[in-house]
Copies of this chain bind each other. A is one copy, B any other.
Amino acid sequence: MAHIETISGGVTTPRGFIAAAAACGIKDPTKPRLDMTVLRSVAPCVAAGTFTTNKVKAAPVRVSQEHLRRDDVQAIIANSGNANACTGPRGINDAKAMVRATAKALGLRQRQVAVCSTGIIGLPLPMDRIEPRIPEICAAMTAEGGADVARAIMTSDTRPKETAVRFTLGGKSVTIAGCAKGAGMICPSMATMLCFVTTDATIGKAVLQKAVQVSVEQSFNRITIDGDMSTNDTVIVLANGEAGNKSIEPGSADEKLFRKALSEVMLKLAKAIVSDGERVTKFVEVQVRGAPTWLDARKVAEAVAKSSLCKCSWNGGDANWGRIMDAIGYARARVREELIDIYFGGVAATRGGLASSTPLEELRKVVENPAFTIRIDLNLGDAEYTVYTSDLSPEYVDFNRSEYSMIKRATVQG
């Protein structure tokens, strides 16, 4: 298969995308940080997206889902600091007002603008600090604005997350780039997962939507930090066709290459979200092998990745395979205790459901690393599943003890 090159850059690296951001005091009126951004394409885009399956959906999710049904989306406006969730009809009006102001400033129809919010749940957006700033942001957009998009969507993230790849389709150079934010609850909650991907590829809506589904399944759906799922999770992909390649046909080698490149971008961003999770000190890849079915493999991987006890032990650099066995047992998957092998970084901790002869110190050395793999072989079949997760630290709990009150004070009193 053709080569996919990782390049530096972000969402304005593909041809025909521009962006800008501003500090509007949504996060904290007293300490302005970038918290609103607009990203647009010079031409109408084929768009695809996936959204939270939470039944409590933020207002911008409802509005953007509607707009993404069409084929000419051209811009995204996003803010951080306030999720515009649990805000009722007022929230819908506010999300639509953000869309309206953006469409007006960019000379687009309202349905061509998607809207995203991330941050605190349950407070109305401070529209007086949002609406007046939209024309100014729209006037400042450049092809160098991508890095600011990545910064403006951050909440408790400690660093911006962006990546880009380049490859060739039918002699034409094609770029896919993306940025994301996560940090809090991944399957996130307060902090929400947002991901924007741009590409200059020419591609039809059905082919793009399928590629997005496949890539999201193998990336963002494989990560868990604290098991909570947000009201605002959103992945939006915009393809503007500026690369001039022949439109990607279903079933073609071009489609295969595009999917591979898109998956690379999303997986890199998904892993970056885990590594930058709130007070995370360990990146852990949980690989399940030898399951009777894919679903059994997934149940086992997710049970281990979400177990508070396993996560605590990883934080302590402790190779506690007993807690892993326990989580495998309650995963409601088909397993046989006496067949289970568990490896830390390739070193056997458990063979046939029993402690291996590996000295504990050798296992500890693996778990003391900042990143390691746990492989679980159920020895019952051929199905596999992998989840990317993190440890659970005392600092995570401490950080999340009082976030709401802090933000509430900042917002209400600001």
Residues of A participating in the B interface, judged by any CB pair closer than 8 Å: 53-57, 83, 85-88, 120-123, 184-185, 187, 189-190, 226-231, 306-309, 312-313, 315-323, 325-330, 335, 337-338, 350, 352-355, 360, 364, 392-398, 400-405, 408
Residue from B184, B318, B404 in contact with A313 in the complex, judged by beta carbons closer than 8 Å: B404
Given contacts A54-B330, A322-B404, A397-B394, contact A185 B86 (CB under 8 A): no
Point out the residues of chain B lying under 8 angstroms from A328, CB to CB: 55-56
Bound-state Cα–Cα, A65 to B353, Å: 21
Copies of this chain in the oligomer: 2
Q: Smallest CB–CB gap between A192 and chain B, Å?
A: 10
Decide yes or no: A326 and B54 within 8 Å by CB, A88-B354, A122-B355 being known contacts: yes
> Contacts A231-B329, A312-B401, A315-B397 given; 15 further ones with Cβ under 8 A?
A55-B330, A86-B354, A88-B352, A122-B322, A184-B309, A185-B326, A189-B309, A226-B309, A227-B306, A227-B308, A228-B307, A228-B323, A318-B405, A360-B408, A394-B395
Write 14 A-B pairs (CB below 8 A) sorted by A numbering.
Answer: A55-B329, A55-B337, A57-B329, A85-B325, A88-B354, A121-B322, A122-B354, A189-B323, A190-B323, A228-B330, A313-B404, A318-B403, A360-B408, A394-B398
Interface contact A316-B401, CB-CB below 8 Å? yes
Do the beta carbons of A316 and B402 come within 8 Å of each other? yes
Give the chain B neighbours of A85 by CB distance below 8 A: 322, 325-326
**A322 surroundings in chain B (CB, below 8 A):** 83, 85-86, 120-122, 190, 404
Q: A329-B57, A335-B55, A354-B86 are in contact. Are A392 and B402 (CB under 8 A)?
A: no
Question: What separation, in Å, do the CA atoms of A47 and B322 have in the docked complex?
Answer: 30
- Verify A230–B326 contact, CB threshold 8 A: yes
- Neighbouring B residues of A350 by C-beta, 8 Å: 86, 122
Hey, which chain B residues are within 8 Å of A325, CB to CB? Answer: 56, 85-86, 121-122, 231
- Docked CA distance A313–B394 (Å): 14
